Structure 1
Amino acid sequence: MQSRRQLDMSTGWEAHVHPEGTLYFYHPMKRVFTDTNVQVPAFLNEINHCADNLLDLARSSGVDLTSAIELTLQLGMDPDTEERVCSYYFADRDERTLFWLHELGTEDLFEGVRGVKDHSHIRYVIQFQYWVHCELYPNNREVESQNGLLMELREIIVHASADVITSEKSLSPFGGEELSKILDLISHLQETTLKECSPHSICVIARFMQYFARAKFFNFCGQSCARLEADQSIYLTDDEHMVKSVISWIVELLCFGAPRAQMKELQRVWVDKSTSSPRWKDFNDKLSREWISITIYSTVMLTVDLSFLTVPSVNAQTSQSVAIIAAYVSTFSVVGSLVVSILLAGQNRKYGSVSANNAVVFLTRMTNSIFGDRALAILHSLPYALLMWGMVYFVVAFSFLVFKSTSIILLGMTGCGMLIVILLTLWPIWAAKNDRVFSWLRGRLTGSE
């Protein structure tokens, strides 16, 4: 199946159809690509004029326009002056890079990555753009095919697969199951491709090469500060302001330490304002399971609160009694936990399966506040915190009802039993957060023997 369409030969341009259906044009003599419809005479004259001017400027600037150099043009409108402008870039197929003849701002090119200085580091983001170029214009790629491009991609996928299998902190932009599918796809391409890759195969290869080139740029590959593990930060952290620290400590206490645990999970995924699709999806799967379980517990706790309020001895009390008020607050807390869990679960279904790029946009918006990442950690811990406060208030309501109408003997027995239960409840929490204390006690006991 041919991707080339017939066009007036006198123009020197060829019309090609991209595997996804886009129509683009190529001038084999000048080696120029464009998406602008050169079948329109006015556009044809402007594109030819721009191409000739840029090629002359490149020669006068000392650029060696070898057969490996391609020029891409696009006509557009300047949003400020509303005048027609011609955007361009040159692509070097040997070096796998793009270059321009004029100065170019790097704000959009670096995608917000800080500390980019070395040329060897910048090269990876340029290579990412080059593979985007190859995917957009996949025809006439015989040189890449003959140089073993498919085998190169296969070696990259094999190494990434081994890294995912042997490490829990792999930097691969794909998960193990996805890598296995990609490897099967490459094996199929090797079986069907004889000497050179078709435009369809070039699109597939270029798309995968984009991901790995972009990952190398974000991970500072080849630099002295290169990220070697997925949860490793390469930037120095600033000291937190005292006011923020005090507020964070108070919120941590009110939420029963849940924000700290959520913050650790978030830091494993949201590292230096970037993430990868496998870790993002795994993170959201864990959150979904957690919120589903909290929803079940909240439903049970809501049933308990409503049943408690229907007890005759509770109804016999005044509406201002401690037991009634505590039961009401417990019910409100549990309902709040249930509602927040459902809302977060719905949000998670919407953004949990998006790509890494969309996940970065979502996380940037969610953490764009004075508390930064901690704000999202607090939000994720709200279902757990509200459920715990519901339980605490229910215990207060139940305890007031029990200790108010119990004799002295039963009061002592109930108080001792309640104290034992409280100690047993706090034991695992204390052991997890203060393991050095238990180690010290164990050492003292061992030494005394």
Structure 2
Amino acid sequence: MSRDTTTPTDKTYTIGESFYPIAPCEFERYERSDVVPDIQFPFDIQPGTVSFTHEPPKKGWVRYMHPEGAQYFCLQHALFMVYTDANLYTETILSKTDEFLQQVIEFISCHGDELQTVFDAETVDLVMDVTHSDQDLVCGYYFAHRPNQTIFWAHDFPASRRLWADVKGVRSELHILHTMQAQYWEHCALFPCSRRRHRKQLTKCEIFSFMEFLIL
């Protein structure tokens, strides 16, 4: 999916030159340019082997497996829970992802009050979509606000062009809320452990909202 990676001119709300806002529906889990070497690697399974584990990446990241088979990673920070499915087993990507994360932390430390949101690990998720652009790595991002079940950004986000370009007459905040909550459930579908970590049970309202998202 083609995405707008233009950064805003207002430097007050620019996390860094390599950052650009995305919506959960624009997350590029299945459109990455990463390739697997076309090589047959020899591997013998020893008798009685029943466990196949992978060493977790360093620096506090925890690996999860999505029901569809994709791996993703989670890290708990005081300001938010962080999610990415960048291949953190590659040292250069791990280093760059941690660098991106540090930029977000510094930005929130300086400008968090301007976003009028309380940042803590029980309230906010940060998602970083680290991808290749030319010869460098860039970072699409969004924040998820769990209590309100909505998505937000530090940049201006052209929602009418990116989220409902084919739908006319959207002007009510209730219309926009419906779309933003649909994006929130898209986020939960991308990173299902984000719900398991904070709720042992879903409320009836949440179940109905998620079912509506699946139908749409």
Does the pair score TM above 0.5?
A: yes
Match of 1:38 among 88, 91, 97: 88
Matches within 5 A, 1:323-342: none
Partner residue in 2 for 1:86: 139
Q: Does 1:75 align with 2:114?
A: no
Residue 90 of structure 1: CA displacement?
0.3
| Identity fraction in percent | 26
Structure 2 counterpart of 1:270: none
C-alpha deviations, 1:181-216, integer Å up to 9, x for none? Answer: xxxxxxxxxxxxxxxxxxxxxxxx84x24146x5xx
Specify the SS of the correspondent of 2:105: helix
Consecutive unaligned residues in structure 1, runs of 5 or more: 157-204, 215-449
How high is the TM-score relative to the length of structure 2?
Answer: 0.63
Report the secondary structure of 1:141's partner residue: helix
Distance (whole Å) between structure 2 residues aligned to residue 15 and residue 42 of structure 1: 17
Q: Distance in 2 between matches of 1:59 and 1:122?
A: 29
2:70 and 2:165 map into 1 onto residues whose CA distance is 26
- Given the alignment of the two structures, is residue 132 of structure 1 paired with residue 175 of structure 2, yes or no? no
CA distance in 2, matches of 1:54, 1:116: 32
Structure-1 residue corresponding to 2:213 = 210
Specify the SS of the correspondent of 1:110.
Answer: coil
Deviation for aligned residue 1:28: 2.1
Give, in whole Å, the separation in 2 of the partners of 1:153 and 1:58.
Answer: 29
- How far the C-alpha of 1:5 sits from its partner, in A, is 5.8
How far has the Cα of 1:120 moved from its partner?
2.7
AA of the residue aligned to 2:184? Y
- Residue 145 to residue 57, structure 1, CA distance change in 2 (3 Å): same
TM-score, length-normalised on structure 1? 0.32
Distance 1:68 1:5, change over 3 A: farther
1:11 is aligned to 2:59 = yes
Task: Give SS of 1:114's match.
Answer: coil
Q: Distance in 1 between the 2:109 and 2:178 partners?
A: 26
Matches within 5 A, 1:427-442: none
Aligned to 1:55: 105
Which has the greater radius of gyration?
1
The one-letter amino acid paired with 2:137 is R
Does the 8 Å CA contact 1:5/1:15 hold for their aligned counterparts? no
Which residue does 2:73 correspond to in 1? Answer: 25
* Aligned partner of residue 151 in structure 2, secondary structure: strand
Q: Which amino acid aligns with 1:7?
A: P
Moved beyond 3 Å, runs of 4+: 142-146
Query: In the TM superposition, what is the alpha-carbon distance from 1:115 to its structure 2 partner?
Result: 2.0
Task: Give the SS at the match of 1:210.
Answer: helix
Q: Aligned pairs, how many?
A: 155
Using the TM superposition, give the Cα deviation of residue 129 of structure 1 relative to its aligned residue in structure 2, in angstroms. 0.8
- Supply the RMSD in Å over aligned alpha carbons: 2.5
Name the counterpart of 1:354.
none
1:322-401 to 2 correspondences below 5 Å: none
Output the amino acid matched with 2:193. N
Relative CO higher for 1 or 2, CA cutoff 8 Å, sep ≥ 6? 2
SS at match of 2:179: helix
Note if contact 1:91-1:98 (Cα within 8 Å) is conserved in structure 2: yes
Q: What's 1:261 paired with?
A: none
1:250-329 counterparts in 2 under 5 A? none
| 1:23 to partner: Cα distance | 0.6
Deviation at 1:124, TM superposition (A): 1.0
Q: Structure 1 residues 120, 145: CA separation in 2 closer, same or farther (over 3 Å shift)?
A: farther
Structure 1: distance between partners of 2:88 and 2:163: 28
